[in-house]
Amino acid sequence: MIFYQKKKETMFCTFMVLEKIMKKQLQNQKDIFIEQLIELLKIPSISADPHYKEDVKKTAIWIENALNHIGCSSVQIYETEGHPVVYGEVLVSETAPTVLVYGHYDVQPPDPLELWESPPFEPVIKKTDLHPKGAIFARGACDDKGQMLMHLKAVELLKKNNALTNNIKFIIEGEEEVGSDHLEKFITDNKSMLQSDIILISDTGINSIENPAITTGLRGLSYMEVSVTGPNRDLHSGLYGGTVANPINVLCDMIASLHDENKRVNIPGFYDQVEEISELERKKMNENGTDENSFKASIGIEAVMGEKGFTTLDRRSIRPTLDVNGIWGGYIGEGAKTVIPSHAHAKISMRLVPNQDWQNISQLFEQHFKAIAPKGVKVEVTTHHGGNAYVTPTDSLAYKAAEKAYKDVFGVVPHAKRDGGSIPIVPMFEKVLETKTLLMGFGFDSDAIHSPNEHYGIENFLKGIETISLFHPYFSKLYEDQ
């Protein structure tokens, strides 16, 4: 017993020493790490655009080299039917816990280019109000190259100090931004290679450095495309206007009818499976709610809008939604052209919450959308991709280890929050690998992911590396003690 206590004390002591040493090393090496991130950000790995296939491949090779550089073994680029997956591992012992780190090296298209203050693939560091210590501006800086790289650097630091006490497996993919279509097959085919005790991802956000959070939920997604076809050709709007169903008018009516007067989604069955959250729990969640004024100011709006009876925080985390992402048809060139278009199109996405099944929701949408089509038009509905929502437990060893790491780095215990975005592979990991995911993201909502001028704070990057490099020893310690 005494021996045991002693051992604990020494461990605690060495832990504090390690913490200090790594912090110092991180300070010394930060410029190198930032340079590496800049190099990675220069490669335009746009997964959605086939023109960039070679660049996506180049990025996979960059990751392969980076994994080799930090001393991973079994490093390999796995080809898929889409973009490649990069894998590498550091195995320290058979009895140690294993952490599977997931990230994505692909990025969203940078359009509209003219709104970027500096070119999206020529990273620059600039100070902003929210990033007084500077932020790196480039597509993918926050989502997810910067956040993914933090994990490699944390493991590098731990290895260098002989302090890596977990087995680490890295799986870095190139298709997250287009729905991770081929990753399910990859993880199903490589189940034993990917076995782990916890999956760790940095691809979400915190509200601020002063009040950091661990993400405990992600929303699901159903992404649809619809077409409405009317007459067999574009028509003169004087000769035919008022006599036929105009596909754009019809599409607008149909879309407008998808919400009721309380801004609830008007699709039969849409809410049937929705997870009900108790008033008490909602109240607790809203203690760290969205500050309405700064929220409005940050995106330049005068009023918020959403489902009646819910706060802005609820609406962007625990409630399902439906939004048009794009709509087109008819004449959109210079000047005016009097025409009734033959067809009209829209892309519509639905964010889903726990217990809603994305395939079921896609089906409900399709049935309903076809059912509300008036005579005189033909409606087509296709499902692009989707994924289910995810909620992670807060009483796990991994969550507790993360709490300790955040407390050390940020000085406060992080709160739990559910995010509105989606990472479709996370529920898939749970289904196929039967492993839980811990979401330790460090971006800010204001970092403009998917938008022009995406950026990632240098402080977020460094604090992220520090937090991750403390998470690992805390996790193996709790694992050992359990």
**Residues that bind Mn ion in the complex, under the rule CB under 5 A:** 143-144, 203
Binding-site member from 59, 167, 204, 362 for ligand BES (CB under 6 A):
204
Told to check if 318 binds ligand BES by CB under 6 A, we report no
Told to check if 422 binds ligand BES by CB under 6 A, we report yes
Which residue is listed with tokens 């006599």?
243
Which residue is listed with tokens 């590098």?
156
Task: Supply 463's token pair.
Answer: 């604090």
Contact 86, 172 (CB under 8 A): yes
Phi and psi of 177, rounded to 5°? -75, -5
| Nearest to 102, CA basis, from 446, 432, 323 | 432
Closer by beta carbon to ligand BES, 148 or else 265: 148
Say if strands 167-173 and 343-352 run parallel, antiparallel, or are unpaired: unpaired
Closer by beta carbon to Mn ion, 143 or else 197: 143
- Closest separation in Å from C-beta 45 to ligand BES: 13
Closer by beta carbon to Mn ion, 175 or else 366: 175
Told to check if 176 binds ligand BES by CB under 6 A, we report yes
Which residues in the 353-382 window bind ligand BES by CB under 6 A?
Answer: none
What does 238-295 look like in DSSP terms, one character per residue?
TTSTTTS--HHHHHHHHHHTTB-TTS-B-STTTTTTPPP--HHHHHHHGGG---HHHH
Closer by beta carbon to ligand BES, 97 or else 464: 464
Told to check if 447 binds ligand BES by CB under 6 A, we report no
Contact 312, 304 (CB under 8 A): yes
Give the one entry of Mn ion, ligand BES, none that residue 345 binds, where binding means its C-beta sits below a cut-off of 5 to 8 angstroms depending on kind: none
Binding-site member from 97, 103, 329, 424 for ligand BES (CB under 6 A):
424
Closer by beta carbon to Mn ion, 141 or else 381: 141
Told to check if 222 binds ligand BES by CB under 6 A, we report no
- Closest separation in Å from C-beta 221 to ligand BES: 6
477/265 Cα distance (integer angstroms): 47
Binding-site member from 152, 187, 221, 322 for ligand BES (CB under 6 A):
221
Rounded to a whole number, what is the distance in angstroms from the first to the last CA of the chain? 16
Closer by beta carbon to Mn ion, 201 or else 364: 201
Type and span of the H or E element at 26: helix 2-41
Look at residue 137 and give its three-state secondary structure. strand
- Closest separation in Å from C-beta 46 to Mn ion: 12
- Closest separation in Å from C-beta 294 to ligand BES: 18
Task: Supply 52's token pair.
Answer: 């960039």
Told to check if 203 binds ligand BES by CB under 6 A, we report yes
Look at residue 373 and give its three-state secondary structure. coil
180/200 Cα distance (integer angstroms): 17
**Please, where are the H alpha helices in 42-78?**
53-69
Give the one entry of Mn ion, ligand BES, none that residue 103 binds, where binding means its C-beta sits below a cut-off of 5 to 8 angstroms depending on kind: none
Cβ neighbours for 450, distance < 8 A, ≥ 6 positions apart: 108, 143
- Closest separation in Å from C-beta 172 to Mn ion: 12
180/185 Cα distance (integer angstroms): 10
| Nearest to 436, CA basis, from 199, 215, 213 | 199
Told to check if 426 binds ligand BES by CB under 6 A, we report no
Binding-site member from 177, 366, 403, 447 for ligand BES (CB under 6 A):
177
Told to check if 454 binds ligand BES by CB under 6 A, we report no
Which residues in the 382-421 window bind ligand BES by CB under 6 A?
Answer: 385, 419, 421
Look at residue 8 and give its three-state secondary structure. helix
Binding-site member from 179, 217, 329, 464 for ligand BES (CB under 6 A):
179
- Closest separation in Å from C-beta 176 to ligand BES: 5
| Residues near ligand BES (CB under 6 A) | 143-144, 176-177, 179, 203-205, 218, 221, 385, 419, 421-424
